[in-house]
Amino acid sequence: MDKKVVTRFAPSPTGKFHVGGVRSALYNYLYARKNGGKFILRCEDTDKERSKKEYEDYFLDVFKWLGLNYDEYYRQSERTAIYKKYLSKLIEEGKAYISKEEIKEEGQRSEVIRFKNPNIRINFHDEVLGDLSFDTTDSKDFIIARDLETPLFNFTNVVDDFEMGVTHVIRGQEHVSNTPRQILIGEAIGAPRLIYAHCSIILNEERAKLSKRDPLVLPALGYKEEGYLPEGILNFMSLLGWNPGTPEEIFTLKELVEAFSIERMQKQPAIFNVDKLHWVNKEHIKKLSGEEIEKNILAWLKPAYAGFRESILIKLIPVILERISKWSDVKNMAEKGELDFFFKQPEYDKSKLIYKNAALEKIVSNLGKAIVVLKNLDEKDFNKENIKTKLMDTADSLDSRGELLHPVRFALSGLDKSPDPFIIAEILGKNETISRLQKAI
């Protein structure tokens, strides 16, 4: 019988958890869930100087926000006794030794624990990168601990994978170079070989390696603050270095569990394309229920329109929804005043009412025609469908539709770009619409 799949994600709490890490975390999660296995989260906080509690809390918050549930949680700082046992055993067996190091400046000696390198060639198969081969001689007898109480990253990482029964290691490519040393340590402690899958590198849109400082990239919770949906982020990250093998691109977390496979992780670099992120997130917004969309849009809208009646704000929801890809876009639209025309008559440069080279008289006459047909609509029938039918009928009878539709839209919004005039008219209501058209004339 095959061994139960156990995966782990092992962040070091030395900085704010980065969105790139979300991808490795997600793949480990998906692979474990797909195979009915176990997903472990392990805080690799052996570096006492650089590890901070706040960064541990940060990645825990990210996991919570994203809904990536783990089955077990460990902190390496609480496992010193375990590492000590393995270190002592290696020393006893002659596979590691205490060596006295010269500290040059002060002429002092300090002790470290070095791994006795068997100087062999290590071959391993990476599920993404293929067959790899490394000569480990260059690593010499490398340091695995400062002392019995202070093991270093490569050592604790290997001991824990063994102790925790990990079967698959899915992680970033920066760890490929650690792998041969980790395999050597693994063999020395009698651990079975792990299955490795190193994710493709992520590039920015200029095809340069995406760094943690790239302005494109926020620390993971930055996406929460910007009003992205967890499912949007997970979906987008899933496609950076994996593809489902079908044209389908939109997946819920549950669907990703179904669709994911290590075989479809790709070797070629993935591009962090912000437009795609926006598109994916928007697709997930569209999947939300009407109430959820309303609740979110109102929450992001209200700070800018604190004094306004909710009944008016609610009317704006369809217009806003069409133009956003994340919730903070709502706030930005409001702050830029792009919605102000709904609440007060717009001020504008009246020459802009004129469509292309149309004669002024024509524009004035067309605005008049629009008023006539709209006046004929009952208040209770004053909705975008009816408004559209009436205005389009009239516009179609003219030389150019634009000579009616443009001045009407501009008179209502005062903006070069705005939603179509039918929806604006519906939201403004009959009286306000007609009053704005009259003012334009």
- Taking the alpha carbons at both ends of the chain, their separation in whole angstroms is 82
Q: Which of 10, 26, 317, 321 binds ligand GLU (CB under 6 A)?
A: 10
Beta bridge partners of 125: 131
12 touching ligand GLU, by CB under 6 A:
yes
44 touching ligand GLU, by CB under 6 A:
yes
Q: Which of 75, 175, 276, 401 binds ligand GLU (CB under 6 A)?
A: 175
Least distance in angstroms from the C-beta of 262 to ligand GLU: 15
Q: Which of 157, 235, 238, 281 binds ligand GLU (CB under 6 A)?
A: 157
186 touching ligand GLU, by CB under 6 A:
no
Q: Please tell me whether 212 is known to bind a ligand.
A: yes
171 touching ligand GLU, by CB under 6 A:
yes
Token pair belonging to 327? 């919730």
Q: Which is nearer to ligand GLU, 209 or 439 (CB)?
A: 209
Assign 72 to helix, strand or coil: strand
Least distance in angstroms from the C-beta of 101 to ligand GLU: 25
Axis crossing angle, helix 384-396 with helix 360-375, rounded to the nearest 10? 140
* Residue 158: half-sphere exposure toward Cβ, Cα within 13 Å: 25
Q: Which is nearer to ligand GLU, 28 or 296 (CB)?
A: 28
From CA 136, how far away is CA 133, in angstroms rounded? 9
Only segment of 5-13, 123-131, 133-141, 207-215 that touches ligand GLU (CB under 6 A):
5-13
Token pair belonging to 156? 């604790």
From CA 33, how far away is CA 92, in angstroms rounded? 40
**DSSP, residue by residue, 128-181:** TTEEEEEEGGGG-S-EEESSTT-B-HHHHHHHHHHHTT--EEEE-GGGGGGHHH
Least distance in angstroms from the C-beta of 157 to ligand GLU: 5
11 touching ligand GLU, by CB under 6 A:
yes
Residues 332, 405: contact at Cβ < 8 Å? no
Least distance in angstroms from the C-beta of 116 to ligand GLU: 23
Q: Which is nearer to ligand GLU, 156 or 325 (CB)?
A: 156
Closest CA to 272 of 251, 248, 241: 241
Q: Which is nearer to ligand GLU, 21 or 227 (CB)?
A: 21
407 touching ligand GLU, by CB under 6 A:
no
Binding residues for ligand GLU, per CB under 6 A?
10-12, 44, 157, 169, 171, 175
Which residues are known binding-site members for ATP? 212
